[in-house]
Chain A
């Protein structure tokens, strides 16, 4: 880290690299963020399952109960943005939103190259794919919410609007469904990423491989902190 590291035999003084040797995990997601993720995941799953019933005749007829399924779908859909909106109250969530919304030239290079996982391009807390997923998913949710309102409250708008809303809702739901499937596949392939979302922390080694830029920022922040604790000479 810094040049003080070389004075290894001085055990009385904490060195800036102390956090690295003391803890194998680093905090990634706050409790609030994990709760937001969990509730959004549940609502999204219910929306997808009920959508499958509403859209697909071979499921819709045996299941029946159209009005009930529709109500569940509509109210879970209305509720879907609420955890994310409440997240605005959380400092950690707001900080991560800022990170997710910031596309850098390095992100564009990351998306274009095939060797994006080899570490040549330094990745921050979120890689460009995660940023893209966040933008597309939140954008699609808003479109689905707007068109869903038009379809559900049939007196709001004239018929051509409702036809248009149905068309847009159909295709956006398909796109968002594929996005969710992709998200789940990536999560299934990476147990440590799942641990991060389940427990809140990830191993330092994983962070170094997948999000080196973020780990570096964390370590420098920790270094500054512990350096500040060093008594003045």
Chain B
């Protein structure tokens, strides 16, 4: 029933001149989460991503640095833990494992922590999770550069995990010995965000 409705309403919403339909929940659409007040817009020119912590080669990447690395793309669902999901989202960027490889994690490193330039959001993955092929530093989603509302210019996409594992407005990647409970995890969600159902 949900799919049938989405199929009927989706095309109607696409051609709705008033834009009113986009204001109401129509099934398979993104809902935009921000946990702080307004998040500053980061231009592609000024953006920097730092890789630090328990690594032999800490580094800072600009967008063009990231674009110069091997790119990957995949089509995969975005699933929120509360239930909503968006099927078949196109994601493109750099596999996190590529950045980790270049940083050369120290022996005792077991976890990867993420920070956001919203100043509040944090997340972490185990090193094993971080090396999965569907975990990427995303530069594009839905066939275009990641927009500000979607967490652009650069965000995480942790495929096969709930949406809260995919940090928006990504600013830092830090190798550590253990995972730290992230923003939503201190508010009740499991640190293990892998979708098993």
User: Which residues of A approach B to under 8 Å, CB–CB?
Assistant: 54-57, 60-67, 150-152, 154, 158-160, 162-167, 170-171, 173-174
Alpha-carbon separation in the docked complex, A173 to B31 (Å):
16
B interface residues, tally (CB under 8 Å): 29
Tell me which of B23, B32, B34, B81 has the highest count of chain A C-beta atoms within 10 A of its own C-beta: B32
Contact yes or no, A159 B187, CB < 8 A: no
Taking a contact as CB atoms under 8 Å apart, the answer to whether A174 and B32 are in contact is: no
Residue numbers in A under 8 Å from B148 (CB-CB): 61
Q: Bound state CA distance, A57 and B81, in angstroms?
A: 18
Given A55-B24, A61-B149: A159 touches B32 (CB 8 Å cut-off): no
By the criterion CB–CB under 8 Å, are B24 and A174 in contact?
Answer: yes
Evaluate contact between A163 and B84: CB separation under 8 angstroms: yes
B: which residues have CB within 8 A of A?
Answer: 2, 23-25, 27, 30-39, 79, 81-85, 148-149, 184, 187-189, 195, 197
| Residue from the list B23, B30, B85 in contact with A163, Cβ < 8 A | B85
Given known A65-B36, A163-B85, contact A60–B31 (CB-CB < 8 A): yes
Give min CB distance, B2 to chain A, whole Å: 5
When distances are taken between beta carbons in the complex, the residues of chain A under 8 Å from B81 are 154, 162
Q: Are A158 and B197 in contact (CB under 8 A)?
A: yes
How long is the Cα–Cα vector from A173 to B149 in the complex, in angstroms? 24
A61, B41: Cα distance in complex, Å: 11
Contact residues in A for B184 (Cβ distance below 8 Å): 67
Known: A159-B83, A159-B195. A66 touches B189 (CB 8 A): no
Q: B34 and A61: CB pair below 8 A?
A: yes
A158, B196: Cα distance in complex, Å: 9
Query: Does more than half of chain B's interface fall in helix, strand or loop, or is it mixed?
Result: loop
| Cα separation A162 to B163 with both chains bound (whole Å) | 14
Contact of B35 with A66 in the complex, beta carbons under 8 Å: yes
Chain B residues near A151: list those with CB within 8 A: 82-83
Partner of B31, one of A55, A158, A165, A174: A55
Query: In the complex, are the beta carbons of B23 and A56 less than 8 A apart?
Result: yes
- List 13 A-B pairs, Cβ < 8 Å: A57-B30, A61-B32, A64-B36, A65-B34, A65-B37, A151-B82, A154-B81, A163-B84, A166-B83, A167-B2, A170-B25, A173-B25, A174-B25
**CB proximity of A114 to chain B, nearest CB, Å:** 29
A171 CA / B5 CA spacing, docked (Å): 11
Contacts of A152 in B (CB 8 A): 82
Residues in chain A near residue B23, CB distance under 8 A: 55-56
Contact A64 B37 (CB under 8 A): yes
Q: How far is the CA of A159 from the CA of B184 in the complex (A)?
A: 18
Contact of B32 among A60, A150, A160, A163 (CB under 8 A): A60
Contact of B149 among A57, A66, A158, A159 (CB under 8 A): A57
CB distance from B27 to the nearest CB of A (A): 7
Give the contacting residue for B38; candidates A62, A171, A173; CB below 8 A: A62
* Interface residue from B24, B27, B31, B79 paired with A167 (Cβ < 8 Å): B27
